[in-house]
Structure 1
Amino acid sequence: MLRAVETGAAVVVCSTCRLSSEQREDGEGRRGGALLAQALRAVQAGDSAYAGVEVQDMPCLFACQRHCTVHLRAPGKVGYVLGDFTPDEAAARAILDYAVRHAASEEGVVRYADWPQGVKGHFIVRTPPEGFICT
């Protein structure tokens, strides 16, 4: 059930997420999560600023009440689950911009003033790193 991946800063995309709250997949049968993963990889490939963040995907993050969900994580840092994105370049860029700031932060906490507009309102859960709780 588990597959080893690179450790380090990562955006884990739910590859089976719905396209939207109303629609499971697009007209070609593609799920929103798969499209979001594709958009993230395309944006990452076009900009070396995102090289330090891995884009990983897995089926189902169990956030099924939401759509186009991702988990931002890095060793020793607070992690976040975000959702309700449109699987396009703008969302991918906002997610990666936040992921870069998250990776550069000491504990995974990015000042609200530094959040890209495209991630505001998309946070669902924050998760403490192993061995810690948030204060």
Structure 2
Amino acid sequence: MTNHSDHSILICTTCKGAGAARKLRAALAEHVSKRFVLRAVDCMAGCERPITVGLQGPGKTQYLFGEIEAQADIEAIASFAQQFLASDTGWSTASERPKRLYHKTLARLPAYRTEAKT
């Protein structure tokens, strides 16, 4: 199994502030694989539903969740992070994600792919 950080969990610092982001980051650090780097980032445009959290992985679908609460949603984010790591594509339907995240999904973006020019 790979031990390096090749996936990211992004935590927005803008709307609720750096302190709230640090609290969420500390809680997540105890529950997710070391393959995730936990990054505090500026605005991810989820301002109406802070705190926003995104997941990224190489060649995988990307996700953005909103209204993430440090205590209430840690287990759901950690569970989804494990699911995300185990998937080759990162793709999941809403019903496959933890129930706490069902109505908190703000965006699902396809994996970044470079196209060969023709």
Q: TM-score, normalised by structure 1?
A: 0.68
Is the 2:7–2:57 contact (alpha carbons within 8 Å) kept by the matching residues of 1? yes
Alignment of 1:41-120 (within 5 A): 41-44=29-32, 50-88=33-71, 90-120=72-102
Q: Retained in 1: the 8 A contact 2:5–2:34?
A: no
Aligned to 1:14: 12
Greater strand share, structure number? 2
Instruction: Write the letter of the residue equivalent to 1:81.
Output: L
Q: Is the 8 A contact 2:95 2:102 kept in 1?
A: no
Pairwise CA distance, 1:111: 4.8
Work out the CA distance in 2 between the residues paired with 1:113 and 1:94: 13
Answer yes or no: is 1:38 the counterpart of 2:18: no
- The match for 1:21 is none
Which segments of structure 1 move beyond 3 Å, counting only runs of 4 or more?
Answer: 111-114
Identity %: 24
Q: 1:125 aligns with which of 107, 110, 117?
A: 107
After superposition, give the CA deviation of every residue in 1:59-108 in whole Å (9 maximum; x if it has no partner).
Answer: 222221221100111010010100112221x4122112101101211211
* Whole-angstrom CA distance in 2 between matches of 1:65 and 1:127: 19
Task: Please report how far the alpha carbon of residue 35 of structure 1 lies from its aligned counterpart in structure 2 after TM superposition.
Answer: 2.5
- In structure 2, relative to structure 1, the CA distance for the partners of 1:114 and 1:62 (3 Å cut) is closer
Aligned equivalents of 1:15, 1:92: Cα separation in 2: 17
Structure 2: runs of 5 or more not aligned: none
Cα deviation, 1:16-39, whole Å, max 9, x if unaligned, reads 332xxxxxx7xxxx7433322222
Counterpart residue identity of residue 92, structure 1: I
Q: What is the aligned length?
A: 111
SS at structure 2 position matched to 1:43 = coil
Amino acid of the residue matched to residue 65 of structure 1? E
